[in-house]
Amino acid sequence: MATYVILSTLTDEGRKTIKENPKRILEVNKELAKMGIKVKEQFAVLGPYDFVNIVEAKDNETVMKMSLELGARGSVQLLTLAAIPVEDMVKKLV
């Protein structure tokens, strides 16, 4: 499984949805699981992004499909980064 960092920003519609139904965030996590993506950690953050998620998925295509699916809803904008454990990076460089 590969690790990804997802930075997300709610749109106006997304903020309205979360305000009316905060548990919607957890419902989306269940939807991600059905897409083959496991949410390892999730943080609400201050600054230019609203959430930071650490997820695992089998490949880039799975994450791309998720990004398109969620983005098409118009409630969130995503920036997804592939993450490589530092130990793995060091092994490749030595």
- Digit-by-digit pLDDT tens for the chain (94 residues) are 999 999 999 999 999 999 999 999 999 999 999 999 999 999 999 999 999 999 999 999 999 999 999 999 999 999 999 999 999 999 999 8
Cα–Cα distance list, 68 to 50, 60, 71 (Å): 19, 12, 5
Q: Which residues, listed in sequence order, are joined to residue 10 by a DSSP beta bridge? A: 76
> Structural domain tally of the chain?
1
pLDDT, position 60: 96
Rounded distance between C-alpha atoms, residue 44 and residue 11, angstroms: 15
Which of 11, 23, 20, 22 has its CA nearest to residue 73? 11
Q: The tokens of 29 are what?
A: 């996590």
pLDDT, position 82: 96
pLDDT, position 50: 97
pLDDT, position 79: 97
Cβ pair 62, 56 in contact under 8 A: no
pLDDT, position 34: 96
Q: Which domain holds residue 13?
A: 2-93
CATH of the domain at 45: 3.30.70.920
Question: What's the order of all strands across the beta sheet hosting 38-44?
Answer: 38-44, 51-57, 2-10, 76-83
